[in-house]
Amino acid sequence: MAKALEKELKRPDEFVSFWTHFGQNLSKHRSKVIAVLGVVAVSTAAGWGLTVHRQGAAAKATVAFDRIERIANADLLPQKAPDKDDKAALKPEPKPEPKPENDGLPHFKTEKERLEAANKEADAFLAQFGSVGLGRKVQFDKASRLLVLGNPGEAASIYETLAASETDRNIRVLEQEGAAVAREAEGKLDDALRAFTALADESQAGSKFYLDRALYAKARILEKQGKGKDAEKVLREILEKMPKTSLRSQIDDRLAILTEK
């Protein structure tokens, strides 16, 4: 816009001429122009209203998302230390525990309560604002908390749904890894193996940043399944494709164990 305006100002005669002709035409066709301008004004007002509405909704969604994060990372309430002996009654009265900061957030005694509350808040966010845009991040974070809470099946389902519709390759890698880890935690090793294989293929086609991690995890699953030779082959594949991998020491240790079996 600024460049276009600057370009116009460099041609003042043409700029003035345009508005002169416009004024003359406006006088000739006053009624038609007024009608057209009326329609444009209504359309502009409607478009502006829609923009403001979207901006307002986006601002509200950002505030709601921030609330989820604050709950998930809130300090836990201090635990009262148990008395260690029978002479507790003779001890001086302990100082009262400091009250939690009045930050408008609920406070919890345990990590489990805090994570469950964050996921409840996430569900409320998704119900109000939907699962697209910022809602995808809300789902991803919810799945991560579900893993910690010991619900890998639901976590895997969320990760897989996100990965299936993800357009950003780098983010899809994270979602695929989450699904693979969740399936492994669920004890579904065949599903985990397929997921880590898909992750390795995705990494192979992209920046290869996750390739060594994906293959190392694949080897771990194969070893869990009693397929030591296959696991060894995958580990050597990592050293061949990525000789400077940061996992070199772990790979060497696993190879030493596998070759002894």
The domain locations on the chain are: 112-209, 210-261
Distance (Å, whole) CA 38 – CA 213 = 62
pLDDT at 19: 45
What pLDDT does residue 40 have? Answer: 43
pLDDT of residue 122: 97
Helix, strand and coil percent figures for the chain, each rounded to 5: 75, 0, 25
Q: Does 112-209 carry CATH code 1.20.1250.20?
A: no
Alpha helices for 73-168 (secondary structure H): 111-129, 134-148, 152-164
Burial of residue 179 (number of CB atoms within 10 Å: 0-12, 13-18, 19+): buried
Provide the whole-model pTM: 0.70
Neighbours of 117 (CB within 10 A): 18
Residues of the chain with pLDDT under 50: 1-20, 22, 26, 33-53
The pLDDT assigned to 58 comes to: 84
Q: Which two tokens stand for residue 245?
A: 């991998």
Cα 201 to Cα 171, 204, 207: the distances in Å are 15, 5, 11
Please give the pLDDT value at position 148. 95
